[in-house]
Structure 1
Amino acid sequence: MNKPKLVCLAGLLCDQTMWKSVADQLSNEANVEIFNFAGFDDLTEMAKFVLASVDGDFALAGHSMGGRVALEIHRLAPQRITHLALLNTGVHPKSDKEIPGRIGLIDAAQKNGISILSSQWLIPMMSPNGLKNSTLMADLTKMVESYTVEEFEQQIHALIHRPNAQAQLPLISVPTLLLSGSEDTWSPVSQHEVMQRQVAGSELVVIEGAGHMAPAEAPEKVAAAMRVWLQKE
């Protein structure tokens, strides 16, 4: 029997690092492919790129900004998605409070270089447990610093000009996993509870002690939740 395809999407300033440990643990259940979006400045173009790069039907998981890309993929080609997982993400439209914060990070990166985001952006995303993990922090810092300031600006542009994702939730009919970390202050559990009420039959899993970077902070627990999700029909 052929293993199903699982496509995992990385978020803002993230790459394969975010998903690698989870992917390794799910290798017996699925053929996993990880996408990141360095160089893109539009969520719809990100979605189209994934659809053009993957053949046939597939299970789809998106983390943070990748969750929004996953919903855009579902909008464009719902017939190709067998399962949907949305991790540490949201569907709310941009707010007046959000934009100055994002522009402020761009200004900081332009003045000080991309490495400033390791302290100003990455550290606030992490749980206390994650911050204590020196190996993890070194890996995630390297990940962030692999981006250029221009690539960061492009991804922020994509997020500020994101399409309406809320309208997609009631249209989802495939097995859906919503996952958040108890210490995620950027995309809190409460945000996922609201989303869960709009997706019929969806399941919400909360990873205790994890922050916004749950797939990297608690890969064993995230993989366990995804393993159950992939087995649903």
Structure 2
Amino acid sequence: MGMRYHSRRYGKGPRQVLAIHCTLAHSGAWRGLADAMGAGLTINAYDMPSHGKSPDWDGTGDLHDLVTAWGHDMLSEPMDVIGHSFGAIVALRLAAEAPARVRSLTLIEPVAFAFVAADDPAKVEEYRQRNLEFDAAMQAGDKMQAARSFNRNWGNGVPWDQIPEQTRQYMADRIEFVAGSAPAVQRDSIGLLKPGALDVIKCPVLLIEGDQSDGTIAAANSAIQRRIPQAERVVLEGAGHMAPITHPKKVATEIRRFLDAV
């Protein structure tokens, strides 16, 4: 297991949910969604390495392996699993590795770029072009500029200069996490694209995206849906990549409807 992670719970209901946050956030990002989900649930969330109150990733080993290992530890019984962005890729892997412990799977804005590369290479090239500034900043060692570029592409729309300085520094200090996640997200180092890897997922699956999101996300959900035939897909009007934070009630309404049918 290695480092001990920090976790928190929302609610006291009998139905157990595991929620995995996005890059540069923390488990507290689920508070609004948890409040909007209503009674009957306990939402269990953990801080990924270098996020929130969990210890920093020391750069050794595979980052996705570590985040997933913590997820397996939290997944102590059959749960409804929800993941957002990078957290959605972790959630998808958990469902593939422990299908008996995943009662249902909700993927919000999954950054499944390796899936897009396999199915729609032109969309990946669009994504690469949009991220040239981020790549250049990382190569130059300018973490603050890299965080600014990353936030512009994947944030909630708040201009960088209006974000509190402490939050900007939080993101800059953790921007190496993005590079650490690249093997899994962009090159499928975790093997989810291998033939039959997702066939074991028989539980109900919900794919959520915002209609204001990067087109790569729509392509990612399409690619996942092709591999998981029972997956249902929902597009949220007016929402972008950070929908669980910017539109928690809309997201909660769809997830609650989904869970009530499971």
TM-score (norm 2): 0.72
Q: Which amino acid aligns with 1:14?
A: A
Q: Any unmatched runs of 5+ in structure 1?
A: none
Instruction: Give the Å deviation of 1:76.
Output: 1.6
Distance 1:204 1:118, change over 3 A: same
Q: Assess, with a 3 A threshold, how the Cα gap between structure 1 residues 103 and 46 changes in structure 2: closer, same or farther.
A: farther
Contact 1:126 1:184 in 2 (8 A): no
SS in 1 for 2:106: strand
Unaligned runs of 5+ in 2: 1-11, 50-56, 118-123
Instruction: Give the one of 7, 24, 31 matched to 2:18.
Output: 7
Specify which of 41, 55, 76 is matched with residue 76 of structure 2. 55
Q: Which moved more, 1:157-166 or 1:98-107?
A: 98-107
SS across alignment from 2:261: coil
After TM superposition, the structure 1 stretch with the greater mean CA deviation from structure 2, 140-149 or 164-173, is 140-149
RMSD of aligned residue pairs (Cα, Å): 3.4
Q: CA deviation at 1:168?
A: 4.0
Question: Partner residue of 1:217?
Answer: 246
1:181 and 1:212 in contact (8 A); partners too: yes
Aligned-pair identity in percent equals: 21
1:123 is displaced (CA, Å) by 1.4
Per-residue deviation at 1:229? Answer: 1.5
Give the direction of change, closer, same or farther, for the CA distance of 1:180–1:204 in structure 2 (3 Å limit).
Answer: same
Distance 1:36 1:143 in 2: 18
Q: Which range moves more in the overlay, 175-184 or 48-57?
A: 48-57
The corresponding residue for 1:65 is: 86
Q: 1:191 aligns with which of 220, 223, 227?
A: 220
Q: Secondary structure at the match of 1:68?
A: helix
Counterparts in 2 of 1:113 and 1:18: CA distance versus 1, 3 Å:
farther
Q: How many residues align?
A: 229
In the other structure, the counterpart of 1:159 is 185
Distance 1:113 1:27, change over 3 A: farther
What is the one-letter code of the residue matched to 1:216? Answer: I
The residue type equivalent to 2:34 in the other structure is A
Q: Higher relative contact order at CA 8 Å, sep ≥6: structure 1 or structure 2?
A: 1
What is the match of residue 108 of structure 1? 137
The code of the aligned residue for 1:184 comes to S
- Over 3 Å counting, the alpha-carbon distance change for 1:80 and 1:44 in structure 2 is same
Tell me, in whole angstroms, the C-alpha distance in 1 between the residues paired with 2:14 and 2:137: 45
Correspondence for 1:44? 65
Assess if the C-alpha contact under 8 Å between 2:112 and 2:185 holds in 1. Answer: no
Amino acid at match of 1:16: S
Name the counterpart of 1:78: 99
